[in-house]
Amino acid sequence: MRGYWITWAVLLIFTVAMLWADGAAASISRPTFVLFMLAAMLTKASIISANFMHLRSERSGLVATVVIGLFVTGVILYVLIAPDAARIHAMLRPR
């Protein structure tokens, strides 16, 4: 039970840091902001999958299957959504 509380506290710290970075986004360069947010989100996802999905105690084959499956799903979603987002962005651009 103690491990869940520690995990919750770490996730809360990451969430507060991400909210702070969002509030300070005007004073942080865009690439630094995006890199920080991506790193924080990946770290939070890793902590959640290790602790709440119990992947920390599983065999490496199962962990690799889950990680590869999530990566492939993310790539498919990006490939399907990005062209539409680019089209909408082009439509909203002032002429």
The helix (H) or strand (E) run that includes residue 41 is helix 30-51
The angle, 0 to 180 degrees and rounded to 10, between the axes of the packed helices 30-51 and 2-23 is: 170
**pLDDT value of residue 67:** 87
pLDDT of 19 strictly over 90: yes
pLDDT of 15 strictly over 80: yes
CA torsion sign, 55 to 59 to 65 to 71?
Answer: positive
Kindly report, residue by residue over 58-89, the tens digit of the pLDDT: 888 988 898 899 899 999 999 999 999 888 98
Q: What is the pTM of this model?
A: 0.69
**pLDDT value of residue 78:** 92
